[in-house]
Structure 1
Amino acid sequence: MVAPSAPPTTLRIGPYQVDPPVVLAPMAGITNVAFRRLCREYGAGLYVCEMITNRALVERHPGTMHLVTFDRAEYPRSMQLYGVDPETMYRAARMVAEENLADHIDMNFGCPVPKVTRKGGGAALPFKRKLFGDVVAAAVRAAEPAGIPVTVKFRIGIDDGHHTHLDAGRIAEAEGASAVALHARTAAQRYSGQADWSAIAALKEAVTTVPVLGNGDIFAASDAPRMMSETGCDGVVVGRGCLGRPWLFGELEAVFAGRPVPEGPTLGEVARVLRRHAELLAEHDGEDKGMRDLRKHMAWYFRGFPVGGELRQSLARVSSLAELDDLLGKLDADVPFPSEAEGPRGRQGTASRVVLPHGWLDDPDDRCVPTAAEVMHSGG
């Protein structure tokens, strides 16, 4: 396969050079230490852990402390923090710095799920410009003495009537963020429809002193240089495109190095990747929990392959490594990578109204932290 031409770029986030300019998006329940290690085995870049709730971190919730696990060879260690209250954000970022828990902090202002937005968090928060700035400033202030760069990820806005990305980018830049990333959808879109890459281009024009990263609809290696060429962004953030496809990072590395993109793996090669994923999950969480976690990945790994309904169902109920080995042995290893496996992956759903705190849209300059905003104590 001929390599698409990639725009030359050097992406630096604080003291770290990210080469190729590719970032794994934090995804809840996905980007644990096992999945990050698997992806890193295919290519370089920056790999962000799943979302960590500030309050759960500072209170040392056992589940959260388990999530805050990095492989010994993982560097820089990248942690995403979620919170609404500047004081709690400061305490969490200071804990990361003082206890050397990570080398880079990313901030979550892009999550569109109701349990987050109804408390003013995630994609809802940038509408409150001053509170948003206070939260970013708190993290930067806490992390700066340790030399830890802070980056900020957000969406276009709450919905088409409330776009906030340009203000959010300028505010984050002014408050000391080392880079900003835009998921080019509104919160109302969730993961549906098509990402609006023109919004990334507009953000790149508005934010001039720190890197701007683009996120949304990177489903093939060729999408990354195309996004960068069309928008002028400094790097890409990959989320759903790597679900059941960790080798995408190897393909991206090839694109940015000017090498031909490798052919997609055969069914036997996919089975070997899946077995490696299972091994890493078992090592991290124990075999029982690891196999339960693996089940949600099955449909993504075997998308488009002629696996058969009965075998798919058995794989989706797998409970041990031995059982997994038996099931994988029933696959036809020589089946080539199908064209049906290309394209969007993961959740898409439909657009829907964003759930917000009462009166949230009344005053964008209100600095008040919503009542019970930091109650979410899920350990992530």
Structure 2
Amino acid sequence: MTALDSRPATRENTLRIGSYSADTPVVLAPMAGITNVAFRRLCRTYGAGYYVCEMITTRALVERHPQTMHMISFDADEHPRSLQLYGVDPETMGKAVRMIVEENLADHVDMNFGCPVPKVTRKGGGAALPYKRRLFAEIVRAAVAEAAPAGIPVTVKFRIGIDDDHTTFLDAGRIAEEEGAAAVALHARTAAQRYSGQADWTAIAALKSAVRTIPVLGNGDIFSATDALRMVEETGCDGVVVGRGCLGRPWLFRDLQEAFAGRPVPAGPTLGEVSAVLHRHASLLAEHLGPEKGLRDLRKHMAWYLRGFPIGSELRRSFAMVSGIGELEDLIAQLDPTAPFPQDAEGPRGRQGSAGRVALPEGWLDDPEDSTVPHAAEMDHSGG
């Protein structure tokens, strides 16, 4: 074990967001198509923390889109119920949070200003929006105004900025703090980087120095418990947000809990143990989405679960096309349950892509004080 691995447990490991606290300072990042109630339930069996559902667009919520309403599903014992909202209009954001309060839909609201997807930034949403400081402040203010009387904390997630020439994270952190946010989270990349290259953890340290009264959470390149401890040590952040690192590895939350408590991190699971987790995930998805749709949804997880294990290409293809629980069980029976967890399963996983120019509305960079609501920016998209 390294010095980081043997870090002693302390009261500082508790992460408080509003009136809620978690003994492990870890947040599951909302990921579109991933962090539904089935995946969250699976992750929650491994450790304490905050587990945020898939991102919900404010307009779809206010208009009660059937698919959106189904996405707001929580287990009876899930607490706090954390929901992430994406919005570009202060009025719609206020209506959405008011609806959450009045209908008791969630206990904690997170706000997404980190999405780097071109179809979003092209309309001024996501990671493009914090550049408009007044509009950003108005959106956060609207959410807090509706949530605070009910004791619902509002947290805000954003990126370093649009690109290296247009950084926004320090202003965004100060504004969120001033407007009453309960915590802020920084994905330490610019929108231009998307998910490529390396996260700049020095930005997390800078944000921690700039934001003094609320927790600062760090996000980016946490693929192991050692990564999480190192981020906290190097930046002074109050907790970590884990996204791609837990894809096909829900037991990462067990590793994080043990590491933050100062205990040794368990060895990686054997293929037999991974198969059991995979089967459990399939059962939960079938329960949430129905057997047919649930098993189709599971397909995208297969490569993540089986990464690095000695499995033939034909068998891998069969897993990627699985359509039923019985078929999955037959495929699992063909695996070697004693195969140890492979070294090359460690490290980055999920989407990475390449850096590129950020698509923005015409004239977007002309006036950062312009509070005009972006036109037609609210749409379905992946989080950031």
Is the TM value for this pair above 0.5?
yes
Cα displacement string for residues 159-193 of structure 1 (whole angstroms, at most 9, x for unaligned residues): 11100000000000000000000000001100000
Tell me whether 1:181 sits opposite 2:167 in the alignment.
no
Does residue 216 in structure 1 map to residue 220 in structure 2? yes
Question: Greater shift after overlay, 354-363 or 266-275?
Answer: 354-363
What SS does structure 2 have at the residue aligned with 1:28? coil
Aligned-pair CA distance for 1:378: 7.1
8 Å CA contact 2:194–2:353 kept in 1: the answer is yes
Question: Residue 189 of structure 2: SS of its match in structure 1?
Answer: strand
Please state how far the C-alpha of 1:6 moved relative to its aligned partner: 5.7
Matching residue's letter, 1:59: E
User: 2: distance between equivalents of 1:362 and 1:231?
Assistant: 33
State the Cα distance separating 1:373 from its structure 2 match.
2.4
Which residue in the other structure is 1:310 paired with?
314
- The 3-state SS of whatever aligns with 1:222 is helix
What amino acid is the match of 1:321? I
User: 2:145 aligned to 131, 141, 144, which one?
Assistant: 141
1:1-380 to structure 2, matched below 5 A, reads: 3-5=5-7, 8=10, 9=12, 10-374=14-378, 376=379
Cα separation, partners in 2 of 1:156 and 1:101, compared to 1, 3 Å: same
SS of residue in 2 equivalent to 1:263: coil
Q: Distance in 2 between matches of 1:21 and 1:6?
A: 14
Structure 2: distance between partners of 1:279 and 1:113: 32
3-state secondary structure, aligned to 2:139 = helix
Q: Work out the number of aligned pairs and report it.
A: 379
Alpha-carbon distance between aligned partners in 2 of 1:378 and 1:333, rounded to the nearest angstrom: 38
* CA apart distance, 1:118: 1.5
Instruction: Give SS of 2:176's match.
Output: helix
Amino acid at match of 1:5: R
- In the TM superposition, structure 1's runs of 4+ consecutive aligned residues that sit over 4 Å from their partners are 377-380
> 2: distance between equivalents of 1:78 and 1:378?
19
Shift of 1:372: 1.8
1:55/1:377 contact within 8 Å kept? no
Q: Deviations over 1:270-311 (max 9, x none)?
A: 000000000000000001000110000000001111111000
User: Do the aligned partners of 2:128 and 2:360 also contact (CA within 8 Å) in 1?
Assistant: yes
Task: Classify the secondary structure of the residue corresponding to 1:279.
Answer: helix
Q: Distance in 2 between matches of 1:370 and 1:51?
A: 19
* Offset of residue 41 of structure 1: 0.5
CA distance in 1, matches of 2:186, 2:304: 25
CA distance in 1, matches of 2:381, 2:371: 25
DSSP 3-state at the match of 2:188 = strand
Amino acid at match of 1:21: P
What is the TM-score when the length of structure 1 is the normalising length?
Answer: 0.98
Please state how far the C-alpha of 1:357 moved relative to its aligned partner.
1.3
Query: Which stretch shifts more, 307-316 or 113-122?
Result: 113-122
What amino acid does structure 2 have at the position aligned with 1:49? C
Deviation of 1:259 (Å)? 1.1
1:127 partner letter:
Y
Do 2:32 and 2:382's aligned partners in 1 also have CA atoms closer than 8 Å?
A: no
**CA–CA distance in 2 between the matches of 1:328 and 1:353?**
43
The whole-number CA distance in structure 1 between the counterparts of 2:102 and 2:77 is 21
Q: What is the percentage of aligned positions where both structures have the same residue?
A: 75
Measured in 2, the distance between the counterparts of 1:377 and 1:184 equals 24
Q: What is the alpha-carbon distance in structure 2 between the residues aligned to residue 269 and residue 335 of structure 1? A: 10
TM-score of the two chains, using structure 2 as the length reference: 0.97
CA root-mean-square deviation: 1.3
The change in CA–CA distance for 1:339 and 1:378 in structure 2 (over 3 A counts) is closer
The whole-number CA distance in structure 2 between the counterparts of 1:277 and 1:92 is: 31
**The residue matched to 2:266 in structure 1 has which SS?**
coil
